[in-house]
Amino acid sequence: MTTVVQSFLQHHFSAPIKLTYIATHSERGKLYNSLFFTKSLIRIFFHLIIKRPIIVHVHMSERGSFVRKYIIFRMAKTLRKKVFVHTHGAEFKEYYLSASTVIQKMITGMLKNADKIIALGESWEKTLLQIEPKASTAVLMNSVPIPVNSGRAPDQTFFSILFLAVLIQRKGILDLIAASAQVIQEAKKQRRQVIFHIAGDGELMKRAKKLVADYGLSDSYRFYGWIGEQQKKELLFNADLFVLPSYNEGLPMSILEALSYGIPIISTKVGSINEAVIEGENGYLIEAGDIQALASRMLDIMNSPSSNEMRIASRKLAEDKFSDKQYFEQVEEMYMNSL
């Protein structure tokens, strides 16, 4: 969600659209965040009264994010503003099903009464309509800037596999490590070197490193922790395969970034990933948790003579379907139609 918000802030909108951004959450402690949100709420209220914007565009996931954005939603509707709710939460359906009756009514009320509910893909749109059939939805898939140069040319003796995500259970990092043992073993038989680049931090960092050591795979892994934009670009440029074996997603920005660099992708049949990974064309989709299938598909791409065709397909898909130019043309059209 942060990456999407940043793309809005960096985009130069056409007249008469003028964007004002007010953050409602920080990465600090609960007490600080409570005070931060209160201050933000006051700023939003006076902005709505004094500046009189026509549209309030909120970016929302689940749990605390939903509660904060629901308060803003009610405030904006009370002041007769049009509200666009941009949904990002990969676990929003699970949050709704496990929520109290009060929270469920708040969720359906927001979905029903918002002027536009923005979904990251068609499957995600269907999920939202299952929760509230009367929601006015629009599909707006995430986008990425298309780099001038895509990735490096394939190397027959060296194979680079990239995982770019926070290290938590939902992202499947432990599944990747378990599956990698077979890949590394097969590569050694072929006298090839495989390196798994793990970019991201999170609660499973120590456990992931220990599991790699227990398998005896430390020489084939590089853990980077949190990385900056330039290092991310370098890792993407040098990757031969991108792997994200998640258990739950919307449409991850990391997959779209991999597409833009022309990288084949292996991911899972969750969320709207199937709109970015076309089976057999630019990668493969497996069932979440299927470690053997994950290993087999990594080997398929590593040993495939057509992997370069997959690289070309990924890049073309990014250009045709996920470029930031097309994305903001859609955003501006939605805004202008509401003026």
For each of the domains in the chain, give its residue range(s) and CATH number, in order of start: 2-143+323-338 (3.40.50.2000), 158-321 (3.40.50.2000)
According to the model, what pLDDT value does residue 307 have? 84
According to the model, what pLDDT value does residue 106 have? 98
According to the model, what pLDDT value does residue 89 have? 79
Kindly report, residue by residue over 294-310, the tens digit of the pLDDT.
999 999 999 988 788 99
Which H or E run contains 105?
Answer: helix 101-113
Q: What is the dihedral of CA 168, 169, 175, 181, to 10 degrees?
A: 40
Residue 184 has pLDDT above 90, yes or no: yes
Q: Residue 271 — very low, low, confident or very high, per pLDDT cuts 50/70/90? A: confident
d(CA 339, CA 336): 5
Q: How far is C-alpha 194 from the geometric centre of its chain's CA atoms?
A: 26
On average, the pLDDT of the chain sits at: 94
According to the model, what pLDDT value does residue 156 have? 73
Q: Residue 71 — very low, low, confident or very high, per pLDDT cuts 50/70/90? A: very high
Phi, psi of 221 (to 5 degrees): -125, 145
Residue of 258, 321, 271, 324 lying closest to 119 (CA atoms): 271
Of 151-155, 217-221, 262-266, give the lowest mean pLDDT range.
151-155
d(CA 153, CA 240): 9
According to the model, what pLDDT value does residue 317 have? 96
Mean pLDDT of 43-65: 96
Kindly report, residue by residue over 226-247, the tens digit of the pLDDT.
999 999 999 999 999 999 999 9
- Which residues in the chain belong to E strands, given as ranges? 55-60, 82-87, 116-119, 137-139, 158-164, 193-199, 221-225, 241-244, 265-268, 283-286
Asked if residues 271 and 120 have their Cβ atoms less than 8 Å apart, the reply is yes
